[in-house]
Every structure is written in structure tokens, then in C-alpha cells.
Amino acid sequence: MIKTDAPLRQSLSAHVIFTRYVIFAILAGLTNLASQEIVVRSLPAAPIMVSILTGTAVGFIAKYLLDKRWIFFDGYDSHTDELRKITVYGLFGIATTLLFWGVELGFWHLWQTVEAKYFGAAIGLALGNWIKYQLDKEYVFKGTAHDAAFRLGPLSDH
């Protein structure tokens, strides 16, 4: 079982975790878009869904790995455990994406302006990311160093 160093876990505040989470969400989004652009440029005749699915997969993998290591300080236990984590993480991602789309489309249908649509998107993204973090903390990476540090206080080396 691989775990990170206790001093690193002790020194991180909730503010640092929040900042990392936001930065990683932005990085994953940019990775998604860059991957889509690479597909569009290298396979111009491919259907649009090829680029969207490629970007989604690359962004998902990037975000999972960043969250696993730098947000939740999760080690590797077994193939089965990792598959469970990835599956649950992905299902929560789908659910919160549907929430995001619902809020975005709801604002569009209520006010029918581009500004309302983007305002709804911003609210949906913020809400979706907050809920996703809570779900990941509770159900995907439960019992990790992050969980112990923020529920029980600083961890000792013992």
C-alpha cells in the first residue's frame, strides 16, 4: 500500500485543498479541450463525437489522477479497489454533469438569453463541483489520509 508522507498531510489547510481542487478542475477542462482540438486537427473527417469523447476521457483521467494524489492523498491498494474508485468517481461525475446541464438549461429556458445560460452554467459548475467533492470525499476516497486529516485533526507518524 502506497501512502504519502504525514508531514505533507499535516501542513495542508482546507484553503490549500480548495485552491488545488479549483486549479485541477480548470486544468482538466483545458486538457479536455486541448485533446478535442488535437483530434479535430488530426482527424478532420471524424465525427464531432470522436473529439468530444476523447476530450472527456483524457480530462476524466487527468482529474482523477490529480484528485487521487493531491486532494485526497489516496494510495494504491489493489486493482479491485482502484476499479471501484474509478467507477464510483465516474458515476458521480456523470450525475454532477447532468446537474450542471440542468441548471444551465434551466436558466436558458427561464430567461432565454445567452447571459442567463452562462450564468446558469457558472452556478451549475460551482454547485456540481462542490457536490462532487463532497461525494468523492465520502464515498470514493473515504478513509484516506485526506479524510483522516480533515475529520480527526493532524495525523501523527505513529
Write out pLDDT tens, residues 26-57.
999 999 999 999 999 999 999 999 999 999 99
Write out pLDDT tens, residues 115-138.
999 999 999 999 999 999 999 999
Which is more confidently placed, 2 or 88? 88
Which is more confidently placed, 8 or 145? 145
Distances (CA, A) of 77 to 17, 85, 96, 100: 23, 11, 27, 32
CA dist 45 and 2 (Å) reads 44
SS3 45: coil
Write out pLDDT tens, residues 61-101.
999 999 999 999 999 989 999 999 999 999 999 999 999 99
Distant-in-sequence, close-in-space partners of 81: CB < 8 Å, separation ≥ 6: none
Query: 73 — alpha (psi -120 to 50), left (phi > 0) or beta?
Result: left
What is residue 5's predicted lDDT score, i.e. its pLDDT? Answer: 45
The pTM of the full predicted model, rounded to 2 decimals, is: 0.82
What is residue 81's predicted lDDT score, i.e. its pLDDT? Answer: 96
Measure the N-to-C terminal CA separation of the chain; round to a whole number of Å: 16
What is residue 147's predicted lDDT score, i.e. its pLDDT? Answer: 58
Mean pLDDT for the stretch of residues 13-22: 93
Domain residue spans of the chain:
1-74+142-158, 78-140
What is residue 93's predicted lDDT score, i.e. its pLDDT? Answer: 96
Q: For 155, which DSSP code?
A: P
CA dist 54 and 68 (Å) reads 21
What is residue 155's predicted lDDT score, i.e. its pLDDT? Answer: 38
C-beta atoms surrounding 23 within 10 Å: 12
CA dist 131 and 3 (Å) reads 26
Do 20 and 70 touch, CB atoms closer than 8 A?
A: yes
Q: For 138, which DSSP code?
A: I
